[in-house]
A = this chain, B = another copy of it.
Amino acid sequence: MTAPDTFDRLIQPRSIAVIGASSNAASVGGQALALLTEFSFHGGVYPVNPKYKTLKDRPCYPDVLSAPKPCDLALIAVSAPQVPAAIEQCGQAGIPFAVVLTAGFQELGKPGLKLQQELEASIDKSGVRVVGPNCIGLLNRKADIRCGFGATMASREAASSPGPLAMVTQSGGFGMSMAGLADDAGLGCSYIVSTGNETDVSALELLSYFLERPDIEAALAYIEGIHDGRQLLELGKKALRLGKPVLLWRVGDTPAGRKAAVSHTGRLTADETLFRLTVREGGFIPIDDVDDLVDVASLIHGGKRARGRRIGIVTLSGGAGVLMADLCERNDLEVSETSQDTLSRLKAHAPGNASLSNPMDVLSSAYYDDEYASYNRLIAEALSAPDFDQLIVRSPPIPNAPPWRWAEGFAAAVSASRKPVALLWGNGRRSREILDLFPRWSIPCFSSPRRAVRALAGWCDFSVKAERFSARSGPGPRPIEALPLPLPVGATSTLGERESKAVLASYGIRVLEGVLLGEAEIEALRSPPTAFPVAVKIESADIPHKTEAGAVRLGISDMTSLKAAAREVIAAARRFQPGARIDGLCIQPMLSGTELIAGAVSDEQYGPVVLIGLGGIFAEALGDVTHRLAPFDFAEARSMIEELRGRAVLDSFRGRLPSDVDAVTDTLHRLSWLISDHRERIVEIDINPLFVGAAGEGAIAADALVVLRKAPKAQP
């Protein structure tokens, strides 16, 4: 059979076979059958087990081939050695989906290896799409279909409060309990799938599917490891395109190590970095607590998107204003300045001594008499002001009993605006009734300022990314047309320094040209080929790390030293790698300026990436490096530099002139196109150091290393 192109029949099966059904209520097969028969699933349920004639007053079938048709899903609960055969039978029976609850495969390590191989073979052969193994199943809470086992799935509330979320979780138990907490906040999940070992169907595939469902506003992922960077990248783009975020809770480390990289750049661009970069640039909202889930989901459910990062803070207490401003800044929301025009409009609704610049502290006492109606007028005015993209509002003291006129007026003001508003509740939880109103009005309400601001910031970040994604047609104008690489004939693997620099130069990146001379030519020299002081380096594609090889001498100031250095460098290179092909010695002028490193990697999974960092040992010791997926525009290149923690070394500093940041930006911009145009041919580019001079003096690659793919693919 052929694989279906959606998962509709997986999550909404017409009939379900339970392979390994049992009369033992404590067994997995027994639980699975009970969950399907004791709740409200109305489709066909076909127990399969040769040991029984009937189970739960239904006919029990000896094998799945003898069960009725059509059957959309098989739950597999037989012992691990029997699983592969069961899957093959599903294929023969034309069942498109199976969920394998049984454990005992690759998660056991070596002892599970043989069965794992059989499992994989059976999936390939049968064409069945398989969820699991080693999972607790899936739950369609909208239709109350419970395919799985375990205490949480059997609980009274497991199918209550279906809502606009879908959850895909690599940890079944924890995922179920998160779903319960989302319910408490009135934001339930309609679908929950536990993916277990992900031998076939991956969490990313399912997330991608759920985003496309019209009944889903956001997907939630609890992830312990991601194996397919490309799929993650595509999911991130889809989320932006559809305007539906993936709330991503990731724990643990990426299990997949990365091959030891040839260049420095390679080492700084490990899987973990690429993962984070992809999450940051795609339609993901990273969360790391159940609180985050509930909080961000309540904002998504409000349905309003911020168009920028500017936030207005409205409060009746100066103290709350200060602390919220602190929090907003820490979370990259901009506590924006208020225009004169807006200030004068706000003034009409505030007491004379109110402080109306942002954060707006309008003094509780002034509104004491009118149940804060004018506070609501002020809020409405702030919402309509062009100065703010979103608002956070602190509640006034609220009476203990209805009528809650302030709350009603506030809800009216909020619903009249398209901007997100978070309410910061300051009245304790005693008046439960009123607290229950806000979710009904789709007003996100928080008692913790930190949670309010974090959630606003996460949602704002997604909204701004989605807006930019839909506005943008591409990565902006090229700095240069795509050009063929000036490669030596038959070049493979690592290029020498001069060859590497030629590649950079072909895309307009400034490189420090040296003079290449043979050993004998240097011995015969009478004057330096370039003004002293100079550097002498080995030129050999076989020795990519010249410093490690001891094949570099710096700061040479006279002819005697130069000749001695040349001899030493050659000797060191020969010692370091006997038989290395040596093309000669490169003599370069010594440069000054601030030392940076720049580089690019074309990752098999994530594609082309560019990085910039502080140079020397500090890049490595402090990890002060920023990355971007390539290609990108000039502004994006600039933002990479601005994000460096040690950014200040490029400013006017201790009497030095400010550095030529424009030139560094231009270098990164060009590098991003170079690696993008030639991603199939180039694996890594390493510029170390990149010297940057004072403004106007430019940036120049003093050393460079280009690593090619050993077996070049065809150009796309």
Interface presence of A110 (CB below 8 A) = no
**What sequence of 0s and 1s flags, for each residue 270-299 of chain A, a beta carbon within 8 Å of any chain B beta carbon?**
000000000000000000111100000000
Contact, CB under 8 Å: B427 / A177: yes
Contact, CB under 8 Å: A426 / B177: yes
Q: How far is the CB of A580 from chain B (nearest CB, A)?
A: 18
Contact, CB under 8 Å: B151 / A368: yes
Contact, CB under 8 Å: B428 / A364: no
Contact, CB under 8 Å: A364 / B288: no
Contact, CB under 8 Å: A617 / B326: no
Interface presence of A473 (CB below 8 A) = no
A167-186 residues with Cβ-Cβ distance < 8 A to B are: 169-175, 177, 180-181, 183-184
Interface presence of A252 (CB below 8 A) = yes
CA distance A430 to B185 in the complex (A): 11
The chain B residue sitting closest to A316, CB to CB, is B173
Interface presence of A319 (CB below 8 A) = yes
CA distance A684 to B327 in the complex (A): 34
Interface presence of A156 (CB below 8 A) = yes
Interface presence of A39 (CB below 8 A) = no
Contact, CB under 8 Å: B427 / A290: no
Contact, CB under 8 Å: A171 / B319: yes
Contact, CB under 8 Å: A171 / B317: yes
Residues of chain B lying within 8 A (CB to CB) of residue A152: 397
Residues of chain B lying within 8 A (CB to CB) of residue A481: none
Q: How far is the CB of A316 from chain B (nearest CB, A)?
A: 7
Interface presence of A519 (CB below 8 A) = no
Interface presence of A440 (CB below 8 A) = no
A140-186 residues with Cβ-Cβ distance < 8 A to B are: 150-152, 155-157, 169-175, 177, 180-181, 183-184
Residues of chain B lying within 8 A (CB to CB) of residue A647: 621
Q: How far is the CB of A296 from chain B (nearest CB, A)?
A: 14
Residues of chain B lying within 8 A (CB to CB) of residue A711: none
Residues of chain B lying within 8 A (CB to CB) of residue A614: 618
Residues of chain B lying within 8 A (CB to CB) of residue A316: 173
CB contact under 8 A between A620 and B174, given known A369-B26, A397-B152:
no
CA distance A447 to B184 in the complex (A): 11
Q: How far is the CB of A701 from chain B (nearest CB, A)?
A: 20
Contact, CB under 8 Å: B251 / A173: no
Interface presence of A113 (CB below 8 A) = no
A481-522 residues with Cβ-Cβ distance < 8 A to B are: none
Contact, CB under 8 Å: A291 / B156: no
Q: Which of A70-78, A210-218, A448-456 contacts B (4 or more CB under 8 A)?
A: A448-456
Interface presence of A105 (CB below 8 A) = no
CB contact under 8 A between A174 and B317, given known A326-B251, A428-B157:
yes
Interface presence of A467 (CB below 8 A) = no
Interface presence of A341 (CB below 8 A) = no
Interface presence of A434 (CB below 8 A) = no
Q: Which of A300-308, A376-384, A407-415, A648-656 contacts B (4 or more CB under 8 A)?
A: A648-656
Contact of A451 among B291, B426, B622 (CB under 8 A): B291
Contact of A654 among B173, B174, B318, B620 (CB under 8 A): B620
The chain B residue sitting closest to A395, CB to CB, is B177
The chain B residue sitting closest to A429, CB to CB, is B184
Q: How far is the CB of A298 from chain B (nearest CB, A)?
A: 15
**What sequence of 0s and 1s flags, for each residue 435-473 of chain A, a beta carbon within 8 Å of any chain B beta carbon?**
000000000000111110000000000000000000000
Residues of chain B lying within 8 A (CB to CB) of residue A447: 181, 290
**What sequence of 0s and 1s flags, for each residue 212-232 of chain A, a beta carbon within 8 Å of any chain B beta carbon?**
000000000010100000000
Interface presence of A365 (CB below 8 A) = yes
Provide 5 A-B residue pairs closer than 8 Å at the C-beta atoms, listed in order of the A residue: A172-B319, A173-B317, A289-B450, A547-B655, A618-B618
Report which A residues bind B (CB closer than 8 A).
26, 150-152, 155-157, 169-175, 177, 180-181, 183-184, 222, 224, 249, 251-252, 288-291, 316-320, 322-323, 326-327, 364-365, 368-369, 396-397, 400, 426-430, 447-451, 547-548, 614, 617-618, 620-622, 624, 645-649, 653-655
| Pairs of residues from A and B, 4 with the lowest C-beta to C-beta distance, nearest first | A171-B319, A180-B428, A173-B317, A174-B319
Known contacts A172-B319, A180-B426, A547-B654; 13 further A-B pairs (Cβ under 8 A) = A26-B368, A171-B320, A173-B316, A173-B317, A180-B427, A181-B447, A183-B428, A249-B323, A288-B323, A618-B622, A621-B649, A621-B653, A622-B622
